[in-house]
Amino acid sequence: HSFPVAPETQQQDVETVQKYLEKYYDLKDVGTHIERRRNSGSVVEKLKQMQEFFGLRVTGKPDAETMKVMKQPRCGVPDVAR
């Protein structure tokens, strides 16, 4: 029963996803404009990899459940070999 989120929260989520995947899932930080990357293949692939790792629904989308896990405090070591 989640409610529509405000646009700026969506923007924050995109950045959260970006940073998380760069830090823990070896997403290459090529400095491209974040907005355009939101739908890029590599982000979707890495997001799926993270969702599979945590046993979440593998949607490739930053759904509420995925964002909740991303915001949990954790160990700084990546989940995948770099």
- Among 17, 24, 37, 47, which residue sits at the site for other proteins (rule: CB under 8 A)? 24
Q: Which is nearer to other proteins, 7 or 55 (CB)?
A: 55
Q: Is 3 in the site for other proteins (CB under 8 A)?
A: no
Q: In angstroms, give the least distance from the CB of 72 to other proteins.
A: 5
Q: At what angle do helices 41-53 and 7-24 cross, to 10 degrees?
A: 70
Q: Is 55 in the site for other proteins (CB under 8 A)?
A: yes
What CA–CA distances, in Å, run from 29 to 32, 52, 58? 8, 22, 23
Q: Is 41 in the site for other proteins (CB under 8 A)?
A: no
Q: How far apart are the first and last CA of the chain?
A: 37
